Amino acid sequence: MASCSRGILIAGVTNRARTQMAEGILRHLTANTVFIKSGGVHHEATVHPLAVKVMQEIGIDISGQSVSSLESARRQRDTYDGYISIDCGYDCRMTDKTQRPSAGLRGQVRDVPGINMDAASVKDDQENYVVASSSEEENVVGYDPMLVPSMPSHWEYGVDATDAQRHWKIWSPRDPSIFHENSTRKFQDHLYEGEPLFMQLHTSFMRVRMKSVGAVGNG
C-alpha cells in the first residue's frame, strides 16, 4: 500500500455494495493517507443499505459515500496509480445462485482455517463437480471488461467498459443461462405484468473490430 503514492481506483458494475465496502475498508486501513475512489460502469441507485449495515458491524461508516461512475474516474485518471476490479468477466457469469461452486473452488475453501467439511461431503462434491470444473477452466476470461476507456499507459488492460452492451432478459427458473444473483434488474409492469428483467453485458464485437482497424491504420 505504501508504494501507491497517489491513489487507488476500485471498479465494479454498479458501485452499490462491494466496491463501496472495499473503498471504506481501504480508507480505514490507510487512515485516509491514500486517495481511494470507487466507481461503477452503470452507476444507478444509491449505496445498498445492507452494505452500510454490514460495514457498521465492523466499525466502518460508509453512509456518507455516494454512487459514482467510472467516467468521472477516467477524467481523473492521472490521480490513480493502482486499479482494483471486484468483478470477473461476464462470459463466466452465466449461472444463477442455485448452482454450487466447482470442485476446484470447493478444494480451496476446504483448506481455509475455520471451514469444517467432512470427508464424505468433499468426496461427493468432487465427483459431482469435476466435469463442470474442467469446462469452466476452459472458458476463463483473460481480460477485465470493467476497465474504463482511455487508460493511462502504466495500466494494463484488455477491453474497456464501452466494449460491452446491455441486454435485458426475462428471468426464468428453467433457464440457467440467465443469471440473477449478481445482476441489475428492473421491472416493466406495463409490458410484462411484473416479471423482472435482468441485465447482462455482451461484448460488442463490431466495436472491438473497429478499434483494431483504427489501431492498424494509426500504426
How is residue 139 written as a grid cell?
472458458
Determine whether 164 is exposed, middle or buried from the number of CB atoms within 10 Å of its CB (0-12, 13-18, 19+).
buried
Rounded Cα gap, residues 148 and 162, in angstroms: 7
Angstrom distance (rounded) from CA 27 to CA 10: 12
The span from the CA of 144 to the CA of 102, in Å, is 21
pLDDT digits (tens, 9 = 90+) for 95-114: 333 333 344 443 443 333 44
* 8-88+205-212: CATH class: alpha beta
pTM for this model (two decimals): 0.43
Greatest CA separation found in the chain? 60
In tens, the pLDDT along 3-39 reads 445 788 888 778 888 889 999 999 998 888 888 888 8
Q: What are phi and psi of 88, to 5 degrees?
A: -90, 180
Give the DSSP H/E element, type plus range, for residue 9: strand 7-12
- Residue 26 corresponds to which cell in the numbers above? 481501504
pLDDT tens track for 45-72 = 788 889 999 999 999 999 999 888 877 7
Query: Would you kindly state where each structural domain of the chain is located, as residue ranges?
Result: 8-88+205-212, 164-203
